[in-house]
């Protein structure tokens, strides 16, 4: 509890110092974390390729455990909400899109750069997360015994860290542990950046919310309160976090669907707007 509250306080302090400084630290931590994960996954997948029986035994076990492919898909759908824990970052990435710079030639009527750059950001994030999620799921499933995932087991809640220690040694594993703590600590930076941007921008709060530092203090205080309520327990917060992500993405999808249906399209396939003949980007 004490360590978690200290880290939250440090995160709030970083944002009080400056927004740019916070983003700079986040970029450095992400590069370190992704690099260490790439080392672990490449090493694990090379081992899987060198021992093809691991994959064939696993697929044979799946076919023997379920009566049909539909039963297998049904079982996967039942546990799908847990995969929502792998989605955080996408929704906050969308929230910070108004902060992405456009191009020098952008105009309010033709913001081509402001459209292209966030689209590039989303594509890169989706590719990184998708590849990492699939590769890590495959590596941990094939290389870690099922009993190690049981509650209290050495791989419970830390499968990749377990592989880092087992396959790359204690020194590398400890470095991986430290990078994981730091990235989880600064994962709140994307949420903080998004909230600091979106709440004042869209009139979701009173005028005083445009004051940057008081807003940082409020969000930090809320984070402290939630940490105390959940006793700094990752497993206790997992369901609430997954539910929040699913509700956010689901409600956004519904809003976009209704918005698109209401706007309609022009004969050239572009969205119809209030402008008589706006450019299609």
Instruction: Give 90 or 146, the one with higher predicted confidence.
Output: 146
Give the pTM: 0.74
Residues 165/144, Cβ–Cβ less than 8 Å: no
Each residue's pLDDT tens digit, 147-166: 999 888 999 889 999 999 99
Average pLDDT rounded to a whole number, residues 232-237:
81
pLDDT at 64 over 60: yes
* Sequence ranges of the domains in the chain: 2-102+110-263
Which CA distances in Å does 71 have to 78, 84, 107, 138, 247?
A: 11, 21, 53, 20, 27
Strand partners, 271: 265
What does the pLDDT read at residue 83? 66
Average pLDDT rounded to a whole number, residues 174-180:
95
* Residue 212 host element (H or E): helix 212-229
Average pLDDT rounded to a whole number, residues 213-237:
86
SS3 150: coil
Least confident of 39-43, 80-84, 167-171: 80-84
Average pLDDT rounded to a whole number, residues 1-24:
85
Residue 84 pLDDT level (bands cut at 50, 70, 90): low
Dihedral sign, Cα of residue 38, residue 43, residue 46, residue 51 = negative
Count, in order, helices (H) and strands (E) of the chain: 11, 0
183 vs 36: CA distance, rounded Å: 12
Instruction: Give 207 or 115, the one with higher predicted confidence.
Output: 115
Which residues are CB-contacts of 40 (< 8 A; sequence separation ≥ 6)? Answer: 139, 160, 163, 164, 167, 168, 176
Average pLDDT rounded to a whole number, residues 79-97:
67
200 vs 196: CA distance, rounded Å: 7
Q: What single DSSP character describes residue 149? A: G
Instruction: Give 279 or 8, the one with higher predicted confidence.
Output: 8
Residue 204 pLDDT level (bands cut at 50, 70, 90): low
């Amino acid at each position: 509890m004490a360590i978690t509250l200290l880290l939250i306080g440090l995160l709030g302090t970083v944002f009080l110092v400056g927004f740019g400084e916070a983003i700079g630290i986040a970029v450095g931590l992400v590069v370190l974390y992704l690099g260490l994960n790439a080392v672990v996954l490449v090493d694990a997948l090379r081992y899987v390729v060198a021992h093809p029986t691991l994959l064939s035994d696993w697929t044979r076990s799946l076919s023997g455990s379920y009566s049909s492919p539909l039963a297998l898909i049904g079982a996967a759908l039942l546990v799908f909400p847990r995969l929502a824990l792998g989605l955080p970052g996408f929704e906050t990435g969308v929230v910070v899109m108004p902060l992405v710079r456009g191009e020098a030639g952008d105009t309010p009527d033709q913001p081509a750069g402001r459209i292209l750059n966030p689209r590039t950001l989303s594509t890169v994030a989706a590719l990184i997360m998708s590849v990492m999620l699939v590769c890590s799921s495959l590596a941990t499933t094939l290389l870690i015994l099922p009993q190690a995932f049981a509650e209290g087991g050495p791989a419970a809640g830390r499968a990749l860290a377990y592989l880092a220690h087992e396959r790359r040694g204690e020194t590398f594993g400890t470095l991986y542990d430290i990078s994981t703590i730091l990235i989880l600590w600064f994962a709140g930076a994307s949420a903080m950046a998004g909230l600091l941007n979106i709440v004042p921008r869209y009139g979701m709060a009173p005028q005083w919310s445009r004051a940057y530092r008081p807003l940082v203090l409020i969000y930090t205080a809320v984070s402290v309160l939630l940490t105390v309520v959940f006793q700094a327990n990752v497993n206790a917060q997992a369901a609430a976090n997954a539910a929040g992500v699913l509700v956010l993405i689901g409600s956004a999808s519904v809003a976009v669907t209704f918005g698109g249906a209401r706007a309609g399209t022009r004969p050239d396939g572009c969205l119809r707007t209030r402008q008589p003949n706006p450019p299609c980007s």
